Amino acid sequence: MPTSVQIFDVYLIGAKDKNPSTQMRLVGSIAARWRLSAPVVAEALEGVPCRVAEKLGRREADALVESLGALGALTRLTLAGTPLAATSLPAAAGRTRELPPDGLFSPPTRNDGRITLKSADLDTGAVVDVSEPIEFAEPGPDAKTGVRGSDTVRCPIHGLVYNRRKASGCVRCLAPARARARKLQEESRVVGSGDGMGLTSLRDNPVRRAFWGLGIALLVGLVPAVIYAKATNRREIDALRTRQAEISTLPSTKESLARFDELDAAVDSAHRRGAGRTLLIWIAVGGITALVWTRLTRPTGIPLEP
């Protein structure tokens, strides 16, 4: 006789760890992986059975049970179509479908003027009393100031309106600090200028700063270029001229004349090559000097409001 194939339903009946934070993570994992409703999964962890899958073969059902068990969930197998008795579940004993008022997923209660901070790892909550109710400002134009946003406040000393995100006080509160900053900036400009050619005066005059930077860059770049032209390149040319002088003392033959012409062409080539390298050194060193000059003399002062 052919053997009948048994099919099973898999129920979620609870969690191994009763820690609220662990249960919250478990609810998210199970709901996302098996496409279940998060409140239903939460009730199942509290003791109300939830069917995860139905009409599975023995292997599929065992694999599902192992997967749920690895996540930390308690499960039970039943034959397909057989209702799961709530009295047979140890996690569901003495429970009803309605959650306790202060359960993990209970609806919010009416605000009575207190802030309750409930830790995820503690069952008891800490209650903090406040002297007056908290009012949250809605974004939008203020009726008194016409300024949009909840960061606009009125100065308690002068009565002027300011944005507390951008300033620590109103215009009259910050006036002494701005005056002192302006005075310090003027004093530093006078001290740094000296005869009018200091770095501070150059920062304030971009045209003068550009001309001085160009002149200094050209002079600084010229120094290594001249050193190369007079040392390395000149030494190579002098060596070629010395060989030409030696050949000129020999009897005039076709070979000596051809060798003299070759050395003359080599001297011209060394001149051109040396001029190109000298110009390259001049441009490179001058460019680096100009960059350093720009960094040193760029404006650093902060604009002060009148």
Q: Can you read off the two tokens belonging to residue 103?
A: 């359960």
Instruction: Characterise 50 by phi-psi region: left (phi > 0), alpha (psi -120 to 50), beta (else).
Output: beta
CA–CA gap between residue 237 and residue 217 (Å, rounded): 29
Q: Tell me, what amino acid is at 110?
A: R
Q: Tell me, what amino acid is at 40?
A: V
> Which positions of the chain have pLDDT values less than 50?
1-2, 86-140, 142-143, 145, 147, 194-196, 302-306
Looking at residue 38, its pLDDT comes to 83
CA–CA gap between residue 37 and residue 15 (Å, rounded): 17
CA atoms within 13 A on the CB side of 261: 6
Looking at residue 167, its pLDDT comes to 82
Looking at residue 277, its pLDDT comes to 85
Decide if 86 contacts 49 (C-beta within 8 A). yes
Looking at residue 213, its pLDDT comes to 86
CA–CA gap between residue 51 and residue 35 (Å, rounded): 12
CA–CA gap between residue 33 and residue 67 (Å, rounded): 11
Q: For 54-99, write each residue's pLDDT tens digit.
A: 888 888 888 888 888 888 888 888 887 777 654 344 444 333 344 4
Q: For 4-38, write each residue's pLDDT tens digit.
A: 678 888 888 888 888 887 888 888 888 888 888 88
Residue 3 Cα to chain centre, angstroms? 64
CA–CA gap between residue 65 and residue 60 (Å, rounded): 9
CA–CA gap between residue 142 and residue 152 (Å, rounded): 8
Q: Can you read off the two tokens belonging to residue 196?
A: 């009018």
Characterize 200-216 residue by residue with b for buried, 16 or more Cβ atoms within 10 angstroms of its Cβ, and e for exposed.
Answer: bbbbeeeeebeebbeee
Characterize 223-232 residue by residue with b for buried, 16 or more Cβ atoms within 10 angstroms of its Cβ, and e for exposed.
Answer: eebeebbeee
CA–CA gap between residue 240 and residue 218 (Å, rounded): 31
Q: Can you read off the two tokens belonging to residue 79?
A: 């034959």
CA–CA gap between residue 56 and residue 62 (Å, rounded): 9
Looking at residue 191, its pLDDT comes to 52
What pTM, to 2 d.p., does this model score?
Answer: 0.32
Nearest to 223 by CA among 281, 152, 269, 183: 281
CA–CA gap between residue 125 and residue 107 (Å, rounded): 16
Decide if 92 contacts 46 (C-beta within 8 A). no
* Opening angle at CA 85, ends 38 and 45, nearest 5: 25
